[in-house]
Structures are given as C-alpha cells and as structure tokens.
Amino acid sequence: MIENNFETILKGRRSVRNYDPAVKISKEEMSEMLAEATLAPSSVNLQPWRFVVVESDEAKATLKPLIRFNTLQNETSSAMVLIFGDMQCYERAEEIYGQAVAEGKMPEEVKDKQLESIVPHYKGMSPEKMNDIVKIDGSLAAMQLMLVARGHGYDTNPIGGFEEDQLAKAFGLDESRYVPVMIVSIGKALEGGYESVRLPVDKITEWK
C-alpha cells in the first residue's frame, strides 16, 4: 500500500536497524522505488548515482566483513542498497540529453549547446571536485530513497560505517571510477527506531 501523506512519511522516518528477515522486496517494487529515488535533482542532470542491490545470502556474506558494527541491518533487511557515485558520469551525458530531445523535453540546439560546455568541463574537473559532486548528488538520491521507502511501507537506515576503500572492488566495480556514497538498508521494521532530537532552527540558522 502506498502512503501518500507527506507529513506521515517525513515525521515517521527513523533509522531502523532491525527488520523482519522473512520480508523480501520484489525486484519489481525495488526497481520502482529506485526509479522514484532517481527523480532527485543532480548537478546538470548527470545522475551520477549507481546502485548495487545486495539481497542474496551470498552477496550479504560478501558485505558482512565490510560493514563494521552494522551487521544486524545486513542480516535482517530485505536488501542493502549500495549507492556509488560515477566519477565518469559525463560518459552518459549524450544518452541523457539525447533522451530529453527524443521525448520532446529539450530542443536539439539546447542539447548541443549544453553538452558542448558540460562535457569538457566535467572531463577536466579535478578528482576532488568530482568526488564532491557525485557524493552530493548520490546523497540526494539516498535521502529520496529513504522517503520513497516509507511511502511503500518500508523502513531504512542510512549507513556510513563501512570499509570505503574495499566496497567497490568487493562487488566487482572499478574502484577508480565508482566511489561509495552511502549504504541504505531497507526492510519491514521489526523494531521501531529510536526517537531522535534535532537542534532548534534558531541555533543553526543565521538570518541576514
């Protein structure tokens, strides 16, 4: 069942670490959630996020030694979604902008003009800058995935505690190209998450 009340989705989200291990999310529904998550914005729409859905026992066993203290999420979740950022995301610029033209969402001249500046700019970018961009964009997709999952009746936990330098290689990705952004565990909550607090807006905001 899809929950459409935004306040329920937003205020009901908590990091959930213990899930019902009997609940599996179908590939169809997971694909739907990922498609919804990728409606997130990204820098010049290059959509640098890439996902690895870790759901089989075998893949979870591969992940286990790489996730430090986060083993309960791995053992009980329907899936651990590994989110990577593609440091060569500009390789897909033609495909993305071409699709926009084909769907009548962008005039051909606009595409040509934009690609002429975007592609060389991105190709010439320092690895540090590109790393920042793909991590910002990947994090937006991660946040959206967490809210989308709530809409689908599931819970999540964003996970940053993992062996960053080993994750890509362990799952067969080129580690010089794909940088890990975050892992998001997804499943049906067995135990609700802890309530957490937030700093008040007046302590974290300056008005100029």
Q: Which residues bind ligand FMN (CB under 6 A)?
A: 14-15, 17, 70, 157-161, 182, 193, 196
**Alpha-helical segments (H) within the chain:** 6-12, 27-37, 57-63, 71-76, 93-102, 108-123, 127-151, 167-170, 201-204
Please state the closest distance from residue 43 (CB atom) to ligand FMN, in A. Answer: 19
Please state the closest distance from residue 137 (CB atom) to ligand FMN, in A. Answer: 14
Distances (CA, A) of 65 to 49, 70, 79, 115, 186: 24, 10, 16, 42, 19
Calculate the CA 126 to chain-centre distance: 23
Q: Which is nearer to ligand FMN, 122 or 157 (CB)?
A: 157
Q: Which is nearer to ligand FMN, 198 or 208 (CB)?
A: 198
Q: What's the one-letter identity of residue 137?
A: D
Q: Which is nearer to ligand FMN, 17 or 150 (CB)?
A: 17
Closest CA to 182 of 56, 40, 21: 40
Give the residues across from 158 on adjacent strands: 184
Closest CA to 31 of 6, 4, 55, 13: 55
Q: Which is nearer to ligand FMN, 42 or 157 (CB)?
A: 157
Q: What does the block give as tokens for 83?
A: 């989110």
Please state the closest distance from residue 63 (CB atom) to ligand FMN, in A. Answer: 13
Q: Which is nearer to ligand FMN, 18 or 47 (CB)?
A: 18
Q: Which is nearer to ligand FMN, 94 or 164 (CB)?
A: 164
Please state the closest distance from residue 157 (CB atom) to ligand FMN, in A. Answer: 6
Please state the closest distance from residue 70 (CB atom) to ligand FMN, in A. Answer: 5
Q: What does the block give as tokens for 30?
A: 């997971």
Please state the closest distance from residue 14 (CB atom) to ligand FMN, in A. Answer: 4
CA dist., res. 140 & res. 17, Å (int): 21
Q: What's the one-letter identity of residue 29?
A: E
